[in-house]
Amino acid sequence: MSFISINYLIFFPAVVLLYYVLPQKVRMYWLLVAGYYFYMSWNAKYGLLLFASTAVTYLCALGIDHFRTAEEKDAKNPTGGKRLFLSLAIVLNLGLLFYFKYIGFTVESINKVLSATGLSLNIPATDVLLPVGISFYIFQALGYTIDVYRGEVRAERNPFRYALFVSFFPQLVAGPIERSKNLLAQLREERDFDAENARKGLLTMAYGIFMKMVAADSIAAVIDPVFASPGDYSGMMILFASILFSFRIYFDFNGYTQIAIGSARVLGIRLTPNFDTPYMGLSVGDFWRRWHISLTSWFRDYLYIPLGGNRKGKVRKYINTIIVFLLSGLWHGAAWHFVAWGLINGILLIAEDLLKPLKVKADTGLNIRTDDPFYMWVRRFITFFIVTLTWIFFRAGSLPQAVKLIAAIFGDFRPAWFINFEFAKLFADPQAMLGVLVPLGIMVILDIFKAKGKDLTSLVFDRQIVLRWIIYICMALFIIYWGFYGKGYEHTQFIYFQF
């Protein structure tokens, strides 16, 4: 069930209404049922995988907690029980993830390597349907288990509450990847209907719907033909489509996140913010601190730091960085172009760290004010351009195609192309161009406001009632016209559902 479907338009109000009508004691069970119904609406069999991951991590966390309690009583006789149960949870969950997401990729890669060496085993290909959102809820469940192992939280005794933590429908299939200290803690609290939460939640949902249906999908309709047949377009047109894709993936993913955060807010639950104006970043490292925050922090806390982080010298720090970004690329997709995308970002972060002393010397020697607005905007544009080039590896259908796209761009690099408005040829007519550039401009302006510390909901709610309703009506008209009736627009599935 997609957030932008008629089904969700019926499902969500029904869930909210019954949630607040039912007694406090049964609300948790109602949300649990809603979560499984929401997830199984894609494929009823998916519910078994969700249940399996939940059951394994629930029982393993109880086992970890049991042995930790025993160690606390007798510190002189530690047991290996905690590590055994943690290992069991990791192996079984990553085993599920590997089979459903990576078995086909692994078999294909092995066959290619063997073929290149003159061997030909022809291992039969395995075509497994990828369950929607499996990477998200498995990482969330594993994060909880590791937190219990570290003693940061106690194991949740109530199996229904823990199952709800894993299957909470707003963030189940595309995040944010929640931590038990945030979401599970809130699920233990009783709450009544709060008009302010409902008002802000609904506005946040509308903002996300606008971002997805109006901004992201209008861009997709224009750029998808370019990536489908890049040989029919010039290098500069490919670059322009790549720039638009940078915005498309941001609007698409952040649109989902905003709808998720807004849906949870109506239910009185605060989810973790997942984006912080990433394209306002001053460097690639700064971009990654602002992009997909829940995943980036997950890799930091549960992989980078345990590997040693930056505590064991620069060489080890750089190796750890490469490992994290390689796995981050693989997490995003079982294909070599995703691995390359992760590797390139890891190399860029290492390069920034190595060049940092030279940059500081250059800024000092040239008497550059690093807080000067013009200087900061130049850095943002350079960072955006670099990130856009890396997104090509993400968007391309394969690694060879990504290399060809990059080669086409630099083989036909003409900055004057933008000044001459040749990019207008990408659009079928002026209406199509406005359908892309107007929503894009609105979103960029809102991000600039947010980067300046403005609360977007307050910018609306602090207005006079007449102006406030003008904003509501304009947003609704944008969604209805551009979102539903825009010329040639077809709504696509959320990009991150495939991960």
User: Residue 456: what pLDDT?
Assistant: 74
332 is catalytic: yes
57-77 burial by CB neighbour count: b if 16+ within 10 A, else e? bbebbbbbbebbeebeeeeee
**For residues 97 and 499, is the Cβ–Cβ distance under 8 A?**
no
CB proximity list for 230: less than 8 A, separation 6 or greater: 238, 401, 404, 405, 408
Q: Which of 124, 268, 110 is nearest to 187 (CA)?
A: 268
What does the alpha-carbon distance between residue 43 and residue 40 come to, in Å, rounded to a whole number?
5
Among 146-160, 407-421, 434-448, name the most confident range.
146-160
Q: What is the mean pLDDT of the chain?
A: 89
Predicted confidence (pLDDT) at residue 71 exceeds the cutoff of 80: no
> Which amino acid appears at position 186 of this protein?
Q
Alpha-carbon separation of residue 144 from 53, 147, 180 (angstroms): 12, 5, 6
Torsion of CA 335, 340, 346, 347, to 10 degrees: 170
Could you give the CA distance from residue 409 to residue 167 in angstroms, rounded to a whole number?
43
Its sign, for the CA torsion 477, 487, 259, 251, is negative
CA distances from 442 to 201, 207, 323, 344, 475 (A): 20, 11, 38, 31, 11
103: tokens are 């078995």
What are the DSSP calls for 203-268, one per residue? HHHHHHHIIIIIIIHHHHHHHHHHHHSGGGS-HHHHHHHHHHHHHHHHHHHHHHHHHHHHHHHHTT
pLDDT tens-place string over residues 440-488: 998 999 999 888 888 777 777 777 778 877 888 887 887 777 666 544 4
Show Cβ contacts of residue 118 under 8 Å, excluding neighbours closer than 6 positions: none
Least confident among 196-210, 227-241, 449-463: 449-463
pTM tops 0.85: yes
What average pLDDT does this structure show over 51-63? 96
- Residue type for 475, please? M
The residues, ordered by sequence, that sit 6+ positions from 10 with a Cβ below 8 Å of its Cβ are none
Choose the catalytic residue: 66, 332, 337, 491.
Answer: 332
Decide: 487 and 432 in contact? Cβ < 8 Å. yes
Nearest of 265, 267, 293, 264 to residue 281 by alpha carbon: 293
- Per-domain boundaries in the chain: 6-193, 197-498
- The pLDDT score that the predictor gives to residue 296 is 95
What is the distance between the alpha carbons of residues 305 and 320, in angstroms, rounded to a whole number? 9
Which pLDDT value is given to residue 79?
A: 63
pLDDT tens figures, 364-395 = 888 888 888 899 999 999 999 999 999 999 99
